[in-house]
Chains A and B, each alone.
Chain A
Amino acid sequence: MFSGDQIASLLSEVGVTHVITVPDSTIGRWEPAIERTGRIRLVRVCREGEAWQVAAGLYLGGATPLVMIQCTGLFESGDAIRNALHDWKVPVFSIVGYRSYLDQAKLPGDTCLVFTEPILDAWKIDYRLITSPSELHVIRDHLLSCRNAGKAGAALIAE
């Protein structure tokens, strides 16, 4: 959908300082471009729940973090999201890869398609579903809108 350079350029433009991530086959390929910016630090975590809390710590410390994970990691993250976004009200923005949205041949009946959007709704994360390469600006606009509103948000990237 997007090249690493496109995502890196976008994140750089909006002032992201740290990307906390566990890679998937789509978002993982963006990492070299993000690192090449020289301005964004990639922070690798072992499990996606860590990412939200690392982001919370970064935010409290004055940085501008972004969480970048696959939807399966979103599911895993549960309590970490609840605490960071709703107990401590840290306005973390995330890019979430939406597995199987574009190709259901590899994993027929992938339940990611059943649960991803309802779980974003359940966690009250304001998201935009991105299904076209022409929608890069939607990510930027939504990120900046959430930032201005001081709330968490997500760009759900069809994979």
Chain B
Amino acid sequence: MATASRIPLVSALETLWRIRRDDEVVITTMGSAREWMTLGEPHALDLILVPSAMGHGTSIGLGLALAQPGKRVIVCSGDGSLLMNLGSLASIVAANVPNLVVIVFDNGVYEVTGQQPTASADFCGVARACGFESVHAFSDATSWADGARSALDAKGPTFVCLNVEPVIGGTAPHSPGPTAARAKRFIEALRR
């Protein structure tokens, strides 16, 4: 859905970076992963889902939220990814995971393949129809910066739609390192 106001992707992620608590898991995929890795030193509870099975950030997030009910799990997904796995929103509600937050960074395009338009959807409407009760949408950086923490703190599962600008020329993210080693470090960090 086209909107007049969109948040620059990096700005949207910078807000999350800034407000994120030390015990919160953040899962990033595709464009969000690419930009997240530029923001600073990786956090022990970052799960950079590169490589990924596209669309499955929400599913991995569901699994983590179930396994770690005491930790908030925040999934950053693109709209193209989410469209590939819309049913996961129903799965999330069925699992009753109050500690899971899904943030869709909706830029309306498949960014890394050349900005082809996605089929798109009213993601907040889909989330509500699947049973999400905590649903939030932001179209400008100031509102997101002001409202992000309370959206994350709402009793979940929580769905947030951010209308973001596509990154012209944005490419697929590079893997930050061997997955087996990263998985091992992530598991150890969760155990602390």
Contact = CB atoms under 8 A, between A and B. Distances in A.
A59 B68 contact: no
A45 B88 contact: yes
Contact of A87 (B59, B63, B64, B179): B179
B62 interface: yes
A41 B94 CA distance: 12
Interface stretch (B12-20, B50-58, B117-125, B148-156): B50-58
Most chain A CB neighbours (cut-off 10 Å) among B63, B64, B94, B183: B63
B126 interface: no
Nearest to B130: A46
Contact of A80 (B53, B64, B180): B53
Most chain B CB neighbours (cut-off 10 Å) among A43, A45, A63: A45
A57 to B, nearest CB: 2
A57 B63 contact: yes
Nearest to B95: A43
Given A79-B54, A84-B53, A62 B66 contact: no
Contact of A43 (B53, B66, B90, B179): B66
Interface stretch (B106-114, B139-147, B159-167, B184-192): B184-192
Interface residues of A, number: 31
B52 to A, nearest CB: 6
Contacts of B47: 60
Contact of B64 (A45, A46, A58): A58
Contact of A44 (B51, B66, B94): B94
B85 interface: yes
Given A56-B60, A80-B56, A46 B87 contact: yes
B87 A60 contact: no
A90 interface: yes
A61 B64 contact: yes
Contacts of B67: 18, 57-63
A61 B66 CA distance: 8
Nearest to B66: A58
Interface string B39-54: 0000000010001111
| Closest 3 A/B residue pairs (Cβ) | A57-B63, A61-B67, A46-B87
